[in-house]
Amino acid sequence: MTAAKIVDKTLRSPAALAEAGLIPSDRIASLHKVAAQYAVAITPSIAELIDPLDPEDPIARQFVPDPAECDAKAEERADPIGDDACSPVDGVVHRYPDRVLLKLVHVCPVYCRFCFRREMVGPRGKALSREGLDTALAYIRAHPEIWEVILTGGDPLVLSPRRLRAVARELSTIGHVKIVRVHTRVPVASPERVTGDLVRVLKASGKTTYVVLHANHPRELTSAALTACARFIDAGIPMLSQTVLLRGVNDNAETLGQLMRRLVESRIKPYYLHHPDLAPGTSHLRATFAEGQTLMRALRGRLSGLCQPTYVLDIPGGAGKVPVGPQYLAGVADDGNGQMRYAIEDVNGDRHTYPPEGLMLRTSAR
């Protein structure tokens, strides 16, 4: 197999991947079934990152389809985190009291092979209609407990600045909404989309806007991607990141640590490390809880607190996210004198008593 060719357009089929040199031609037939079921799209920016000579390339594992995707397990489900169960109107997911997802569009610049919405996104998915958007905004207006609106999809930044400006203006008229959060892959997948006009329209009047970048490997943080992110940050829009723990991509402390440090160096605060969801055909990419907890212990012991994401599981069925990181409180006991003493593990696994033996608690008269 030869090195990849220069790609000047998004690749959307196994044949296009082969023509670009990203897969050998003898794999085309085996990927037709995958492509018929789940959307395929690899942008020029992502194609440049793939090493076709490396069968274990971590970028290819995220974006190049794999026959293993046709092997759905019994525990996997089409809607793994229960979006449908928490959707009162089309386009809105209201899982937590103070915030909602607003799903504006069902397409993305690239399609991740582990996507938890892989049954819902792609060319067959439909964007929220004008009437649907009006209904969604009416729902948000009618619920004063909604403090934050999260724009998602699909990827909301595939929409034109004109359409995003219209949404931002509508949200700016809803007094109880104080935070607008945008989740996106665009700065990595299509950094050229992050123009000055796009950045300006995301700043809803009277609201605080955050942009959350989805990045899983340090190689994704190219100079073009970081320049795109800097446009948001320099305009006063803080950035966070989310990462999915993926087998063969970032399931080692060195790679994950490099990613978190590069994010922080780029003024992007690591936010979530997601345990992979039970999306159909993704078991070959799922790490275990034990592996994730071991990685988090390694990060805690060697990296700044700025580099620590929260390791979370989105509980299947719609119950929401919970932290599933390692525990450092290892036990508790009464010393017989009414004093509770705790066994605390440090990052090296050594145990310590808290309060330490012999520590006197004193109060001073005033």
Q: How many angstroms separate the CA atoms of 272 and 282, rounded?
A: 20
What are the tens digits of pLDDT across the range 331-342? Answer: 888 777 778 889
What are the tens digits of pLDDT across the range 31-49? Answer: 999 999 999 999 999 999 9
Residue 299 per-residue DSSP state: H
Taken in order of first residue, the domains within the chain and their CATH numbers are: 14-70 (no CATH), 84-323 (3.20.20.70), 327-366 (no CATH)
Mean pLDDT of 49-73: 96
Residues acting as catalytic residues = 95-96, 99, 108, 112, 115, 117, 277, 314, 321
Mean pLDDT of 302-319: 96
- Quote the pLDDT of residue 352: 92
Mean pLDDT of 56-85: 96
Bridge partner residues of 151 (DSSP): 102, 182
Q: How confident is the model at residue 203 (pLDDT cuts 50, 70, 90)?
A: confident
Contacts of 29 (CB under 8 A, 6+ apart): none
Q: How many angstroms separate the CA atoms of 19 and 121, rounded?
A: 25
Full-model pTM = 0.93
- Quote the pLDDT of residue 175: 97
Whether 278 contacts 292, CB under 8 Å: no
Q: How confident is the model at residue 349 (pLDDT cuts 50, 70, 90)?
A: confident
Is the predicted pLDDT of residue 363 greater than 80, yes or no?
Answer: no
Whether 333 contacts 341, CB under 8 Å: yes
Mean pLDDT of 54-66: 97
Q: How many angstroms separate the CA atoms of 63 and 70, rounded?
A: 15
What are the tens digits of pLDDT across the range 168-198? Answer: 999 999 999 999 999 999 999 999 999 999 9
- Quote the pLDDT of residue 366: 44
Bridge partner residues of 209 (DSSP): 180
- Quote the pLDDT of residue 356: 85
Mean pLDDT of 53-67: 97
Three-state secondary structure call for residue 94: strand
- Quote the pLDDT of residue 340: 87
CA dihedral 214, 203, 106, 223 (to 10 degrees): -40
Mean pLDDT of 134-155: 97
| CA dist 152 → 117, 156, 230, 325 (Å) | 11, 6, 21, 26
Is the predicted pLDDT of residue 81 greater than 50, yes or no?
Answer: yes
At 171, list the tokens. Answer: 């949200």
